[in-house]
Structure 1
Amino acid sequence: MHQYQFPIESERLRFRYFQEADIAEWAVFFTENPMMHYVGATNPEAPELEAKKFIERQTNRYKTDGFGTLAAIEKGSGEIVGSAGIIYRQHPEFDKMHEIGYSVIPSRWGKGYATEMARCFFDYFVVQKLANKVISIIDKHNTASQKVAANNGMQRGPKFNFNGFQCYQYYRNIE
């Protein structure tokens, strides 16, 4: 089983495991965020509950397959600005594949954090020699994330149903 090799950093961000103490700060992501359903959130009236469920899901991923998204901490402020990492996916469309996932708190949109996160974890993926292909699962309406994936050298693959949403599989082969 893989375990993240720390430190994992980019120019403006450092990454660490989510902790229970992050619930209140991460709850901001689930407040008035039209993108929160992309990370499995179902109850917009309860942002702290959604943050707790999200962090528990990541903690379970860390334990079961060594992956999961990490808290993205802005170096300058020490604040959580999003989450990013590698998710080990088991799904009929892409069984046992590694996904680069990233989410940014709405107040930090448009500052290049998603691109920075995606590039950081692509580089990590290559250095760690995890597999010969990496994917990103992106809702067909999420054009901002589609642009991030394309800028990260990924190609758009087929459309498929993922957790009730029509998504594209973006992929990049590793040589």
Structure 2
Amino acid sequence: MDARLETDRMTLRRFTGADVDDLAALHGHPDVMRHIDDGRPVARAVVEQQTLPRFLREYRELPGGHGCFAAAEKGSGAFLGWFSLRPATSVGLDGGTELGYRLLPSAWGRGYATEGARALMSRAFTDLGAERIVATTMTVNAASRRVMEKAGLSLVRIFFEEWPEYIEGAEHGDVEYAITREAWTGTRNTPTTRNAIRNRNGQ
């Protein structure tokens, strides 16, 4: 299966060793990491020695079509961040295919996150045999929750886990969002969606 994926405005591809600078800038940005892991920027050495090698290893070890994919803007080629599909392993999740995304602040508020999320969901359901897609974030991460909702996922629950270190807002817990193949197929077959497709195609 072709690991490359294109949306209207982005190209998604596998990471390579040459992407270390872009990935380090993303994971090292304090605003990006505010609601992730321990809430602190990740050192370049960690990205270079652990994060990127893990991404590359996952292409071999995970089922085909899964992993973390670098997102670049069409035309300019500017690095925007990444999107991922993996068997769900994040704390609090129990099964399903996990959707993830992490974008530079320069890409926030421009619809890129929703665009990429929808593209990976479509691939997961149509090509990869996914039955249920899940995603999680902190309850207070309103921006990420909006992306999940715009992509078509629905709130399943708020849950509370013990974390090694406190992050501001952790007392409000985390959220799980999800969508099943059946629900996703149903949204694509509504009259409104069909009309939108016909209009987009000029029919």
Q: Deviations over 1:25-52 (max 9, x none)?
A: 2222134333326554776372x22432
Question: Is residue 160 of structure 1 aligned with residue 167 of structure 2?
Answer: no
Query: Shift of residue 72 of structure 1?
Result: 0.5
Change (3 A) 1:98 1:37: farther
Give the alignment of 1:26-65 within 5 angstroms: 26-36=23-33, 38=35, 40=37, 44=41, 46=43, 48-52=44-48, 53-65=50-62
Q: Following the alignment from structure 2 to structure 1, what is the Cα–Cα distance between the partners of residues 83 and 162?
A: 20
Query: Shift of residue 161 of structure 1?
Result: 4.3
**Residue aligning to 1:17:** 14
Task: Name the SS of the counterpart of 1:36 in structure 2.
Answer: coil
Change (3 A) 1:42 1:91: closer
Q: Structure 2 counterpart of 1:51, which letter?
A: V
8 A Cα contact 1:135 1:170, kept in partner? yes
8 A Cα contact 1:26 1:51, kept in partner? yes
**Residue aligning to 1:146:** 145
Change (3 A) 1:118 1:45: closer
Q: Deviations over 1:67-126 (max 9, x none)?
A: 221101111111210100202123674334211111111122111111111111111112
Among the aligned pairs, what percent are the same residue? 26
Q: Structure 1 counterpart of 2:133, which letter?
A: V
Change (3 A) 1:104 1:122: same
Unaligned 5+ runs, structure 2: 164-169, 183-203
**Residue aligning to 2:111:** 112
**Residue aligning to 2:136:** 137
**Residue aligning to 1:87:** 86
Unaligned 5+ runs, structure 1: none
Q: Following the alignment from structure 1 to structure 2, what is the Cα–Cα distance between the partners of residues 117 and 124?
A: 11
Max radius of gyration: which structure? 2
Q: Following the alignment from structure 1 to structure 2, what is the Cα–Cα distance between the partners of residues 57 and 41?
A: 19
8 A Cα contact 1:13 1:75, kept in partner? yes
Change (3 A) 1:37 1:49: farther
Change (3 A) 1:143 1:10: same
Q: Following the alignment from structure 2 to structure 1, what is the Cα–Cα distance between the partners of residues 124 and 106?
A: 28
Q: Structure 2 counterpart of 1:108, which letter?
A: A
Change (3 A) 1:110 1:91: closer
Higher relative strand content: 1
TM-score, length basis structure 2: 0.74
Q: Following the alignment from structure 2 to structure 1, what is the Cα–Cα distance between the partners of residues 156 and 90?
A: 15
TM-score, length basis structure 1: 0.84
Indicate the RMSD between aligned Cα atoms, in angstroms: 2.4
**Residue aligning to 1:173:** 180
